[in-house]
Structure 1
Amino acid sequence: MSLQEKYTLYNGVEIPKLGLGTWFISDDDAAQAVKDAVKIGYRHVDSAQAYQNERGVGKGVRESGLDREDIFVTTKLAAEVKSYDEAVASIDESLEKMGLEYIDLMIIHSPQPWAEFGSEDRYEEGNLEAWKALEEAYEAGKLKAIGLSNFKKEDVQNILENGSVKPMVNQVLAHISNTPFDLIEFCEENDILVEAYSPIGHGELLKADDLEEMAKKYDVSVPQLCIRYCLQLDLLPLPKTANPEHMKDNAGVDFEISDEDMNTLKNRAPLEDYGEASKFPVFAEG
């Protein structure tokens, strides 16, 4: 597996199979992180309005030494944006902050505002308004692909049934011990690529003795085992780090996990405690 390998979205856009996540990387540090990643061979960077580092990520892309079309850039519409006008303004604001003529992929960060994540209100109308703005930006060429994040089956269904452009991706929490197989299957049936954020369980899987043992068998690190697991499920992992050594390690996934071991990993007991990260809605629900 090389960093240049790609999946093809249903609209023909190619997306590198491994991306650099930038959550928790500050705006000041983001440009250097992107440049370091590009030097190592990464061609896919994932940001978000909520990360407050779009300016830095865009700067890193522009100063990477590569042509713009050689780097796949993702950002996310803030979870709180649930009206058409706000979404239109937010899309243009991201383009301006990043200093880019287009964004490769823009996705709705969550079907619900973070303060209400996991509540009964699924914000169907608000999501359709935000989606309409993304559709128009896509048709105008400002965005090369559009998608979703943290959307459950019912939320995806709402977009499929009422939108005019089908989502290209759904980015969700997916890792060993917490893999939403039903959701993944549903997305795949609808030609929606599933991206896996926090593929190492926000670092909690590093503490697992059984994973350490299995990783040794393949002569790899636990992060490499976790990332390879996602790739073998045809997911697109987005490990996040600003550390060049970790970036290199995360990309060293040119090995194959046996069917038997994959089965063991698929059936591993759920991870119920994300440590300090448990305060974040996505992990609290997980």
Structure 2
Amino acid sequence: MEYVTVQGVEVPKLGLGTWRLTGDDCRSAVETALELGYRHVDTAQAYGNERQVGAAIASSDVDREDVFLTSKLKGGNRDYDGVLRSTDESLAKLRTDHLDLLLIHWPNRRVPTRETLDAMAELVENGSVKHVGVSNFKREALAEARDYADVPIFTDQVQFHPYWDQTDLLDYCDIHDVLLTAYSPLGHGGVLRDPVLAEVGEEYDKSPAQVALRWVTQHEPVATIPKATSREHLEANLEVFDFELTDEEMERIRQPSKLRTLSGVVRSRSPL
């Protein structure tokens, strides 16, 4: 496992995302991930799976302090009291006395970002949360949040993969010591059929998915949280730190395309 250091904190570069994982499937995936060596788990109030994530961590042999655990505020829990109340509920569901990271899940014009961040700062002060951040914020919104916050903004969790250009945001995060947490690093499955990734992968005996994950994690300051359920895929995702892409390969793999990104989203949400 490789780590990225932001604001003096080491975070595993590869974690487990749990979006759209529910019930026994979610618990099993988290249990297997922890068994294999994952130490970074991401959930959210809106996912409806905090109980399963918490149960998996509690039943594992891994000490809670060794797991970097993230959750995110639901849209309706953005007012001051809602932040405090819902975070207490999340902690109970997750069977823990603190979150390593709490995020604003999406921008919300109905509640001032400053109000939400003020409540999150109180949670940091009382020890319920170690770090705070945002998700799905563009560079300008991230800069505004950093100006408002009484505690450092630790991360911006956004979609990032070879088809989705995040150069401006990456540069901003690197300059200001903010982690970029990449979700959907496989382009909602689109990279699996990419001929460039397949060709590069042949050189290293790696799959297109592994090449895409390596491409994402080779950027700084980036960690990523791909979703996986099977042991096979969880193991394969971990096997991306034993090779390094060249500068030429990094540039070749980068193929910004909003059309490919949209197609991947549609494909991921369609029934088989």
- Shared fold per TM-score greater than 0.5: yes
In the alignment, which of 18, 24, 35 is matched to residue 14 of structure 2? 18
Matches within 5 A, 1:29-108: 29-108=25-104
- Is the Cα–Cα contact under 8 Å of residues 88 and 133 in structure 1 kept in the other structure? yes
Amino acid at match of 1:213: E
1:193 aligns with 2:179: yes
Q: CA deviation at 1:30?
A: 1.8
Amino acid at match of 2:233: H
**CA pair 237-125 structure 1, distance change in 2 beyond 3 A:** same
1:9 aligns with 2:9: no
- Is the Cα–Cα contact under 8 Å of residues 161 and 185 in structure 2 kept in the other structure? yes
1:137 aligns with 2:123: yes
SS class of match (1:145): strand
**CA pair 276-193 structure 1, distance change in 2 beyond 3 A:** closer
Measure the CA separation in 1 of the matches of 2:213 and 2:267: 24
Q: TM-score, normalised by structure 1?
A: 0.88
- Is the Cα–Cα contact under 8 Å of residues 22 and 242 in structure 1 kept in the other structure? no
Matches within 5 A, 1:250-265: 250-253=237-240, 254-265=242-253
Q: CA deviation at 1:271?
A: 4.4
Which deviations, in whole Å up to 9, do the C-alpha atoms of 1:3-42 show, x marking residues without a partner? xx322231x3322111011111103322221110011111
- Is the Cα–Cα contact under 8 Å of residues 124 and 155 in structure 1 kept in the other structure? no
Q: CA deviation at 1:152?
A: 0.8
Structure 1 unmatched runs, 5+: 113-122, 281-286
SS class of match (1:104): strand
In the alignment, which of 236, 245, 255 is matched to residue 249 of structure 1? 236
Which deviations, in whole Å up to 9, do the C-alpha atoms of 1:35-66 show, x marking residues without a partner? 10011111111111111100000111111111
**CA pair 189-80 structure 1, distance change in 2 beyond 3 A:** farther
In the alignment, which of 171, 176, 183 is matched to residue 162 of structure 2? 176
Q: CA deviation at 1:263?
A: 1.3
Measure the CA separation in 2 of the matches of 1:45 and 1:162: 27
Q: TM-score, normalised by structure 2?
A: 0.92
Which deviations, in whole Å up to 9, do the C-alpha atoms of 1:77-128 show, x marking residues without a partner? 113433111111111111011111111111111113xxxxxxxxxx285222
- Is the Cα–Cα contact under 8 Å of residues 100 and 129 in structure 2 kept in the other structure? yes
Q: In the alignment, which residue of structure 2 is the partner of 1:208?
A: 194
Measure the CA separation in 2 of the matches of 1:279 and 1:223: 16
Amino acid at match of 1:220: K
SS class of match (2:250): helix
Which deviations, in whole Å up to 9, do the C-alpha atoms of 1:215-263 show, x marking residues without a partner? 1122101111011001111211111011111000011112011111111
| C-alpha RMSD of matched pairs (Å) | 1.9
Measure the CA separation in 2 of the matches of 1:154 and 1:81: 23
Q: In the alignment, which residue of structure 1 is the partner of 2:259?
A: 272
- Is the Cα–Cα contact under 8 Å of residues 196 and 253 in structure 2 kept in the other structure? no
In the comparison of the two structures, how many residue pairs are matched?
266
**CA pair 216-271 structure 1, distance change in 2 beyond 3 A:** farther
Q: CA deviation at 1:201?
A: 0.3
Percent of matched pairs sharing the same residue: 39
- Is the Cα–Cα contact under 8 Å of residues 13 and 145 in structure 1 kept in the other structure? no
Measure the CA separation in 2 of the matches of 1:90 and 1:179: 33
Structure 2 unmatched runs, 5+: none
